[in-house]
Amino acid sequence: MSAAIQFNNVSLNYGTKTDTVEVLKSISFSIDSEEVVSIVGPSGSGKTSIIMLASGLETASKGSVKINNQEIVGLKENELSEVRRKNIGIVFQSFYLIPNLTAVENVLLSLEANQQYNLEKDAEELLGEFGLSHRLHHLPSELSGGEQQRVAIARALINKPKIILADEPTGNLDSANSEIMIDLLFDYTKKSQTSLVMVTHDNSIAKRCDRIIEIRDGQIV
């Protein structure tokens, strides 16, 4: 099995005027393709930071980050966009659907970013699988939180990315909705042989993963 994500002695520092904050302290780990991993740890330990580094939305201060064996530290903005487009789907805690686009249009956005056009059928089908066939053409403001998050997940999955990064995807949901969400994510990753990295505070969810990475003070324990 080849590695989907590889961190090698990765550090992340934030410089403020007075001092620098060492958020991640030379961490190394690797996540295989098709592996489902959860990241846990106390608040402020650096979980989100890891997701940001893996998605290329933040740049490591030191060390190397590889996505599908491609080094992404030092890439230009456009190149990072391409890596993201081709390999990664992201699910945020606050859904972040685009407010003036309907559910289907939000999902199509991912396909179109990858130059795949006229695939409305696929998007509708996926949303149908997520139990949203009756909400296809609704704006986000007309959807419940759980529905919004399902659309967000569909948007992340529609491209069949090799990696899904999710930062507390159930953080804004009640337990029933969380359950549905996690089932969807797990089913889908298993079916399409995708690796999943998920930050969570929920122990029961963490336990369902292949592996748990625990972070404390910017270090893996």
Ligand X SMILES: Nc1ncnc2c1ncn2[C@@H]1O[C@H](COP(=O)(O)OP(=O)(O)OP(=O)(O)O)[C@@H](O)[C@H]1O
Pick from 11, 96, 119, 219 the residue near another protein by CB under 8 A.
96
Tell me the three state secondary structure of residue 5: strand
Pair type for strands 36-40 and 88-91: unpaired
> Between 94 and 204, whose beta carbon lies closer to another protein?
94
> Between 98 and 190, whose beta carbon lies closer to another protein?
98
The binding site for ligand X (CB under 6 A) comprises: 14, 16, 21, 23, 41, 43-49
Q: Check binding of 77 to another protein (CB under 8 A).
A: yes
Residue in the structure block whose two tokens are 């122990």:
203
Q: What residues contact 136, with CB distance under 8 A and at least 6 apart?
A: 102, 103, 104, 124, 127
90 binding partner (options Mg ion, another protein, ligand X, none; Cβ < 5 to 8 Å by kind): another protein
Gap between the Cα atoms of 185 and 160, Å rounded: 12
Pick from 48, 61, 172, 177 the residue near Mg ion by CB under 5 A.
48
Q: Check binding of 114 to another protein (CB under 8 A).
A: yes
Query: Structure tokens of 177?
Result: 């909705």
The torsion region of residue 43 among left (phi > 0), alpha (psi -120 to 50) and beta comes to beta
Query: Structure tokens of 72?
Result: 């992404």
Could you tell me which of 36, 33, 71, 69 has the C-alpha nearest to residue 53?
71
Q: Check binding of 136 to another protein (CB under 8 A).
A: no
Pick from 20, 30, 94, 133 the residue near another protein by CB under 8 A.
94
Q: Check binding of 198 to another protein (CB under 8 A).
A: no
* Residues 43-62 as x/- pattern, contact with another protein by CB under 8 A: -----x--xx--x-xx----
Q: Check binding of 172 to Mg ion (CB under 5 A).
A: no
Query: Among all residues, whose Cβ is closest to Mg ion?
Result: 48
User: How many residues are present in the chain?
Assistant: 221
> Between 136 and 208, whose beta carbon lies closer to another protein?
136
Q: What residues contact 21, with CB distance under 8 A and at least 6 apart?
A: 13, 14, 15
Residue ranges that bind another protein, judged by CB under 8 A: 48, 51-52, 55, 57-58, 77-78, 81-82, 84-86, 90, 92-94, 96-101, 105, 109-110, 112-115, 117, 155, 167
